[in-house]
Amino acid sequence: MPRKKNGGLAGLVEPDRVHRSVYADPAIFEREMDHIFHKTWIYAGHESQVPKPGDYYTVQIGRQPMIMVRNKDRSISVLYNRCPHRGAMLCGDRHGNAGKAFICSYHGWQFETDGQVRSIPLPQGYEGTRFSTDNPDCNIKRAARVGSYRGFVFVSLAEDGETLEEFLGDAKVAFDDMCDRAPKGEVEVVPTCFRVVQKSNWKIFLENQLDALHPSITHESAGRAAQIVEKDIAKRSGKAPLDYHYLSAFTTPLSKWDQVQTVNYPNGHCILQGYMGLRPTDPDTLEYEKVMRKHYGKDRTEEILSVNIHHVLLYPGLSVQSPLQQLRAVRPLSVDRTLTEIWHFRLKGAPEAIYRRALGYYNLVNSPATMVNADDLENFWKCHQGLASDGGDWVSFHRNAGQDDDDEGVIKSRFGTSEAPMRNQFRAWSDMMAGA
Amino acid sequence: MAKEKTKTKKKATAKTNGVDTQREVEQFLYRQAEILDAKQWADFIDLFTADGHYWMPATPDQTTGEGVPSIFYEDRDLMTVRMTRVGHPHAWSQAPAWGTSHLVSNVVIEQDDKKKGEIVARSRFHMMEFRRDASRHFAGTYRHHLRRTSDGLRIRQQRVDMVNGEGVYDYVLQIWV
């Protein structure tokens, strides 16, 4: 074992391979919670999840149960889901409306939605104690920092560090690409969240997101099945709906996948460029482009629609498919269990037919009855099981190692199947865990 | 897995005395459950009319599958994709094999329009699934919109509302419930 006796992490992550304990050791998982999930910016939710004052959604940030809530003044607070009195959780429901105040169900302490204590029953009982209402500890604790970029709310539980925009860097194109595609420049959440648990370490999911080598292998069955039916429909009625293409695109041969580029940014973020050809010339798309030109003008519309992204990974916990308005938030539950929360969005001002496109992808690829992730989750489980094997200590990321182009800190792969995104994620992991 | 071949397709279309809708529908629902447990996917799809849909809404308050998120919203073409996938030799998640047991009961005939030949039936179901040494349970309500055809009863729409449908899924649903 290359691990130091003092429990240090040095030697576990090399530029082209990672020791299996990084995925399997519960002690390392706990350090990841402290040094990654409790420090960097973690996605909390979209502002449109809480449209009215008092609306709240509960969310797990690292190990912390938190509440994202809309205040009277339209601002958004993110609070620790804990009553400062005896420590009971305040909101036991996943979402709802708190009305004017959060009320603790145990002893009736009341709080403004921004966390400020509002009333305590028989407050005289605290006179002369060090827990009187002027003590800030009587308020619900607030997240150290809350940031929002184009309606997407992130939380950092650390006082110091990069701002949200600095942290996202150029990878914020995930949200620009999604929102710019809306004639009104913003998106609105569709209030259904599919939640699926993976029996594997959270990093295994992130590594899969931009892995262009796996789709035609892992998803061969779904791709072929869709292709057969797609051709059958085409024979019967001319053209199959785009939905079938979402699946049959998995049959793209490996040589084509190798032509797709990945762009790898600081902090572990990466982009996989598009391969699906999501700019068809059917009447619905032409109508949508007309609406876009009305709002943005010809040149800007062209600029927006020619952004060619399939996936953006925002390390360490968000996978965004901007051209189809979907995102998957990663919530590590334990070293070998990971929850994904899957949302999709409407482009404000776009024709209904364009929403149906996002919806088709959400239903087919991202629902709990997905024919795609059925095989991914199976692989993730196998990857995690394999970590227990003494057949080898290292997980390999050697593919095209040393052959990517470094453009002032931005790593551009020359090949789509380069394992540059995984190497880039571990560069960030090592930086973030440096203090651990 | 039990390999015995149930003659489901024929039996599902078998005529009763033509007046006992309750018993006819019950027999139909039992056959559908048996078809699922026997993994006779083509027979399952054949229980649907040409315009039939299998629909599992994302939330119980939904009134249509059109334009809203669904867990399943499949016509016969999409059902054929699902069937073809699980039958593909490289459908990796099909190993290990898995099995289900469906129970259907509490069958209530909501509508029996003899003129149009349309029946609406509500029932309760419970499905236990066993895969890789773990069991999962899904339970809830079926609502079948049935149509009388020359082949017997066929499904115009099957709505499936699971009482645990909005919960966290430990792994996914590979096939219809």
* pLDDT tens readout for residues B130-170: 999 999 999 999 999 999 999 999 999 999 999 999 999 99
| Residue A303 and residue A240 in one domain | yes
Spell out the residues 6+ positions from residue A35 whose beta carbon is closer than 8 angstroms to its own.
A432, A433, A435, A436
pLDDT tens, position by position, B43-88: 999 999 999 999 999 999 999 999 999 999 999 999 999 999 999 9
Q: What is the CATH number for A375?
A: 3.90.380.10
- Given this model, what pLDDT does residue A7 score? 53
Verify whether the Cβ–Cβ distance A247 to B71 is below 8 Å. no
Q: Which of B53, B75, B81, B175 to mutate to test the interface with A (most CBs of A within 10 A)?
A: B81
| Residue A264 and residue A337 in one domain | yes
User: Is residue A164 one of the residues assigned to a domain?
Assistant: no
User: Is residue A20 one of the residues assigned to a domain?
Assistant: no
- Given this model, what pLDDT does residue B24 score? 96
3-state secondary structure of A314: strand
| Residue A57 and residue A200 in one domain | no
- Given this model, what pLDDT does residue A324 score? 94
Q: Which domain holds residue A380?
A: 170-432
* Burial class of residue A314, CB neighbours in 10 A (0-12, 13-18, 19+): buried
Residues of B whose CB is below 8 A from A227: none
SS3 sequence, chain B? Answer: CCCCCCCHHHHHCCCCCCCCHHHHHHHHHHHHHHHHHCCCHHHHHHCEEEEEEEEEECCCCCCCCCCCCEEEEECHHHHHHHHHHHHCCCCHHHCCCCEEEEEEEEEEEEEEECCCCEEEEEEEEEEEEEECCEEEEEEEEEEEEEEEECCEEEEEEEEEEECCCCCCEECCCCCCC
Q: Where is A266: in which H helix or E strand?
A: none
Q: Give the residue from A133, A156, A179 where a domain finishes.
A: A156
Closest-CA distance, A333 to chain B, in angstroms, reads 12
pLDDT band at B16 (very low <50, low <70, confident <90, very high): very low
| Residue A92 and residue A200 in one domain | no
Q: What is the CATH number for A102?
A: 2.102.10.10
- Given this model, what pLDDT does residue B19 score? 63
> Alpha-carbon distance B44 to B39, whole Å?
8
User: Is residue A17 one of the residues assigned to a domain?
Assistant: no
Nearest chain B alpha carbon to A195: B168
Nearest chain B alpha carbon to A189: B69
Closest-CA distance, B53 to chain A, in angstroms, reads 14
Q: Give the residue from A156, A179, A212 where a domain finishes.
A: A156
> Alpha-carbon distance B142 to B128, whole Å?
16
Identity of the residue in A199, A356, A375 whose CB atom sits nearest the CB atom of B67: A356
Closest-CA distance, B65 to chain A, in angstroms, reads 11
User: Is residue A350 one of the residues assigned to a domain?
Assistant: yes
Nearest chain A alpha carbon to B89: A221
| Residue A286 and residue A415 in one domain | yes
The domain total for chain A is 2
| Residue A331 and residue A395 in one domain | yes
Does residue B15 surpass a pLDDT of 80?
no
- Given this model, what pLDDT does residue B3 score? 47
CA atoms within 13 A on the CB side of B44: 24
Average per-residue pLDDT for chain B: 92
User: Is residue A358 one of the residues assigned to a domain?
Assistant: yes
Verify whether the Cβ–Cβ distance B69 to A373 is below 8 Å. no
Does residue B2 surpass a pLDDT of 60?
no
| Residue A109 and residue A67 in one domain | yes
As beta bridge partners, residue A76 has: A70
Amino acid identity at A59: V
Closest-CA distance, B85 to chain A, in angstroms, reads 5
* Burial class of residue A424, CB neighbours in 10 A (0-12, 13-18, 19+): buried
Q: What is the mean pLDDT of residues B88-103?
A: 94
> Alpha-carbon distance A320 to A179, whole Å?
12
| Residue A181 and residue A149 in one domain | no
Verify whether the Cβ–Cβ distance A196 to B168 is below 8 Å. yes
- Given this model, what pLDDT does residue B1 score? 43
CA atoms within 13 A on the CB side of A370: 24
Q: Considering only residues 16 to 55 of chain B, which have any Cβ-Cβ distance to chain A shorter than 8 Å? A: none
Residues in A whose CB is inside 8 Å of some CB of B read 190, 192, 194-197, 199, 218, 220-222, 224-226, 228-229, 232-233, 243-244, 247, 339, 344, 352, 355-356, 359, 362-364, 367-371, 373-375, 377-379
| Residue A143 and residue A188 in one domain | no
Verify whether the Cβ–Cβ distance A221 to B88 is below 8 Å. yes
| Residue A278 and residue A427 in one domain | yes
- Given this model, what pLDDT does residue A6 score? 43
- Given this model, what pLDDT does residue A278 score? 66
- Given this model, what pLDDT does residue B136 score? 97
Give me the phi and psi of A108, to 5 degrees please. Answer: 75, 20
The answer as to CATH 3.10.580.10 being correct for domain B8-162 is no
Verify whether the Cβ–Cβ distance A374 to B68 is below 8 Å. no
Record the tokens describing residue B18, joined without a space. 């033509």
Nearest chain B alpha carbon to A231: B77
> Alpha-carbon distance B172 to A368, whole Å?
5
User: Is residue A255 one of the residues assigned to a domain?
Assistant: yes
| Residue A74 and residue A218 in one domain | no
- Given this model, what pLDDT does residue A4 score? 47
Verify whether the Cβ–Cβ distance B171 to A339 is below 8 Å. no
**pLDDT averaged per 10 residues in sequence order, chain A, 436 residues:** 58 96 97 97 98 98 98 98 98 97 98 97 93 91 98 98 97 97 98 97 96 94 96 93 91 90 96 78 92 97 93 96 96 98 98 95 96 96 97 97 94 95 97 87
| Residue A183 and residue A234 in one domain | yes
User: Could you tell me if B58 lies within 8 Å of chain A, comparing CB atoms?
Assistant: yes
User: Could you tell me if B91 lies within 8 Å of chain A, comparing CB atoms?
Assistant: yes
Identity of the residue in B78, B85, B172 whose CB atom sits nearest the CB atom of A368: B172
> Alpha-carbon distance B137 to A428, whole Å?
40
Verify whether the Cβ–Cβ distance B69 to A190 is below 8 Å. yes
- Given this model, what pLDDT does residue A5 score? 44
Verify whether the Cβ–Cβ distance A244 to B81 is below 8 Å. yes
User: Could you tell me if B128 lies within 8 Å of chain A, comparing CB atoms?
Assistant: no
Residues of B whose CB is below 8 A from A379: 92
Spell out the residues 6+ positions from residue B31 whose beta carbon is closer than 8 angstroms to its own.
B8, B11, B12
Q: Which of B162, B169, B176 to mutate to test the interface with A (most CBs of A within 10 A)?
A: B169
Residues of A whose CB is below 8 A from B84: 224-225, 228-229
Closest-CA distance, B174 to chain A, in angstroms, reads 6
